[in-house]
Chains A and B, each alone.
Chain A
Amino acid sequence: MDIFSGLLNGFSIALTPMNVLFAFIGAVLGTAIGVLPGLGPAATIALLLPATYAIESPVTAIILMAGIFYGSMYGGSTTSILLNLPGEAASVVTCIDGYKMAQQGRAGAALGIAAIGSFVAGTVGVIGMTFFAPVIATFALSFGPPEKFSLAVVGLLLAVTLSGASIVKGLIMMATGLLLADVGLDPISGKTRFAFGVTELNSGFDFVTLAMGVFGLGEIFYGLEQTMKGELVTTKVGQVWPTMKDWVASRWAILRGTLVGFFIGVIPGGGAVISSLVSYAVEKRVAKDPSQFGHGAIQGVAGPESANNAASSSSFIPLLTLGIPGNASIAMIFAALLIKGVTPGPFLIQEHPEIFWGVIASMYIGNVMLLVLNLPLVGLWAQLVRVPFAIMAPVIILFTAIGSYSIQGQVFDIYSLVGFGLFGYALRKLKIEAGPLVLAFVLGPMVEAAMRQSLLMSGGDFTVFVTRPISATLIALFVTLALGQAGVALWKSRRATASSNSNRP
């Protein structure tokens, strides 16, 4: 199908009252959970996953979830700027300069530029998706098992190395995620692994339970110990329209953030969190006066907030064209599509054009809705932070518990949820990022299956991964990136020793 007629068809689907309504619900819900610290898009989509059974049409279900995902990217900046408390992981770096700006009385400008940057990046991201996804889909079929293996492994390693946190810890998380994914029936040998006679474990851990436990419950357990103070919004929001000066200062940052976000989003293992970190680093490097960063540089808000939005759009590309979920939230949407009997992959555009183009069109609409929702109403969203922890915590616990029970109707999942919650708590205490773990859990079965399939096909020849052009290119790309990064790190550590980037509040 031609791109324009496809898009037109998509709009005719996305503009039906039902789909507009669900795009709106998704945008509102996404902004809300983006604002609320501790409840990220992955956990929210996980909570809503059982509800998709009740939604008849798959397009509507995906429109809702996509709305939550990119909507949360808008909301995430609000508490970062106002309270120095990231609303979700992709807005961690926004705290650094955003909160400083708020302290200087420029909270409105920071919130405004974040919303505008998000809108520009989100829209550019969707436009990019409109034109690139069908192209990628045409050669998606040449991704056989060896290519899938290389792509998934490179994605995992990128998630570990790009995030900037400790590589050793990241690799440990990745390994743990791979092992957790191995629990249960092995599809290739038909053998049950690591179940130790527990019937419920034969089918393995459920991804939703794992994600809700590690992220949602872990965060609550951590909060319980902190005796959260009911901190209120005291900062005045003020004028949200950026001044001419702000505008001039941040327009290139927005564009750079959009580009960085778009490309990192396409890589599996990339996604919003990493793209925001990379964008911040890029802004700091290209700035005329890097010393401004950390003291309220508006580029430090504009860049990352644009990047995470562009990435959230472009991370749909590998899902919809290759059937490969690149990050935790997209993995939830992947699961929702499967529940609806739609297998994302190379045939999606041909066999379900209404889903592919309907979702894309709804993202154009959703971004406009979000701009309208966010710019004038930002003060209102900030009020959400006032819901006391004493009510918020048990409600979130109940949501996660009921959510994981409802997936298979077994109480065992509530217990494993608690287990993952404690694990997430431990990670939080040890300051370890759980992202690689969750991603490895999702990609693990694919990595393993693709490796074993490739070896079966090649008769045990390991060179299959480097002799096939796409696979070899991917590996070469990663090696170049890793060497480059190592080089930069080395150069930096020689050059300066006085910088201590404590970007964790």
Chain B
Amino acid sequence: MGRAERVAAAVVIGGGLAVAWHAYAHLKLGMMISPGAGFLPFWVGVALVILGTIWLGMSLMAPQPQAAAPAEAPAERPAGHPALTRLVPGVLLVIAYGWIFERAGFFLATALFMIAWQKGIEREGWVKSLVVTIVCAGAMYLLFSFLLKGVLPRGTWFD
């Protein structure tokens, strides 16, 4: 926790500096009578630098609560950290879904996403994966083709 918090505080400080600089240099602060486009971003950036510094200071001064005993490490940890075996593939799958969405069309993309999720992340058997995929993708197809008629892409691969 402690380290993550310090990194986050550093990101806040860095981000604040970047925003304040960009606002000052490119957006213009304007005058008192008519503050420019950069007025608010500049001061918000400055505020972020100050707040980030306070946060960093607080997390540096806070006593490290039993640094040796990570309460978040449960015993039922399977092979590999779940962040790597589940979170990263999950995020990548959503990005892939976005990439394929207009190309393969809404229905096929949804079905592919579902089966990839069941097999790749939940490691279900083929039968269960297929059943879940067909039921979910079918239900979503019915739901969305009713709710969002015409808005969803039909796919550019098949023309």
Give A residues with C-beta under 8 Å from B.
Answer: 50-51, 53-54, 168-169, 171-172, 175-176, 178-179, 182, 186, 188-189, 191, 193-194, 217, 220-221, 224-227, 390-391, 393-395, 397-399, 401-402, 405-406, 409, 411, 414-415, 417-418, 421-422, 425-426, 429-430, 447-448, 451-452, 455-456, 459-460, 462
Interface residues in B134-159 by Cβ distance below 8 A to A read 136, 140, 144, 146-149, 151-152
Whether B55 and A169, one on each chain, are in contact in the complex, defined by CB atoms closer than 8 angstroms, is: yes
- In the complex, the answer to whether A429 meets B4 with C-beta atoms within 8 Å is yes
Roughly how many angstroms separate A256 CA and B117 CA in the complex, as a whole number? 47
Interface status of B69 (Cβ within 8 A of chain A)? no
B44 contacts which of A175, A390, A451 (Cβ < 8 Å)? Answer: A175
Contacts known (A169-B55, A394-B113, A395-B136); A402 close to B34, Cβ less than 8 A = no
A175, A224, A391, A451: residue with the most chain B Cβ atoms closer than 10 Å? A175
Contacts of B45 on A, CB cut-off 8 Å? 179
CA distance A140 to B41 in the complex (A): 29
Bound-state CA distance A425–B124 (Å) is 25
Shortest Cβ gap from A459 to chain B (Å): 6
Known: A178-B44, A460-B31. A168 touches B95 (CB 8 A): no
- In the assembled complex, the CB of B1 is this many whole angstroms from the nearest CB of chain A, namely 8
**Given the complex of chains A and B, what is the CA–CA distance between A395 and B47 in angstroms?**
39
A contact patch SS: helix
- B34 A391 Cβ-Cβ under 8 A: no
Q: Which residues of A contact B91 (CB under 8 A)?
A: 221, 418, 421-422
In the complex, the answer to whether B78 meets A227 with C-beta atoms within 8 Å is: yes
Q: Which residue of B lies closest to A444 (CB)?
A: B40
**Closest chain A residue to B99, Cβ basis:** A411
Q: Which residue of B lies closest to A399 (CB)?
A: B140
Cross-chain contact A175 with B98 (CB below 8 angstroms):
no
If A179-B19, A194-B22, A390-B118 are given as contacts, then 10 extra A-B residue pairs at C-beta distance below 8 Å, sorted by A number, are A54-B146, A171-B51, A193-B37, A225-B86, A393-B117, A397-B113, A402-B152, A415-B98, A418-B94, A426-B8
- CB–CB B35/A451 < 8 A: yes
> Contact: B113 with A398, CB < 8 Å?
yes
Q: How close is B97's CB to chain A, nearest CB, in angstroms?
A: 6
Give bound CA distance, A54 to B91, whole Å: 31
CB-based contact A390/B124 at 8 Å: yes
Closest to A407 in B: B151
B130 at the interface (CB under 8 A from A): no
- Tell me, in angstroms, the Cα distance from A415 to B101 when the chains sit together: 11
- How far does the alpha carbon of A176 sit from the alpha carbon of B22 in the complex, in Å? 15
Across the interface, do B12 and A460 meet the contact criterion of CB distance under 8 Å? no
Query: When A50-B151, A430-B5 are in contact, do A175 and B94 touch as well, CB less than 8 Å?
Result: no
Instruction: Report how far A405 CA is from B151 CA in the complex, Å.
Output: 9
| Contact among B8, B41, B86, B151 with A430 in the assembled complex (CB-CB below 8 Å) | B8
Nearest-neighbor residue (CB-CB) of A176 within chain B: B48
Q: A178-B44, A390-B118 are in contact. Are A172 and B12 (CB under 8 A)?
A: yes
Q: A168-B55, A172-B52 are in contact. Are A179 and B44 (CB under 8 A)?
A: yes
Q: Is the Cβ of B34 less than 8 Å from the Cβ of A455? A: yes
Tell me the minimal C-beta distance from B62 to chain A in angstroms: 11
Closest to B97 in A: A401
**Ordered nearest first, which 8 A-B pairs have the shortest CB separation?**
A460-B33, A414-B98, A460-B32, A390-B122, A394-B117, A189-B37, A51-B147, A191-B37
A448 to B152, CA, bound (A): 35
- Chain A CB within 8 A of B60 CB: no
Q: Who on chain A is nearest to B34 by CB?
A: A456
Given contacts A51-B148, A168-B58, A451-B35, contact A414 B47 (CB under 8 A): no
B125–chain A nearest beta-carbon distance, Å: 12
Given contacts A169-B55, A221-B91, A418-B98, contact A394 B114 (CB under 8 A): yes
Q: A414 to chain B: which residues have CB within 8 Å?
A: 94, 97-98, 101
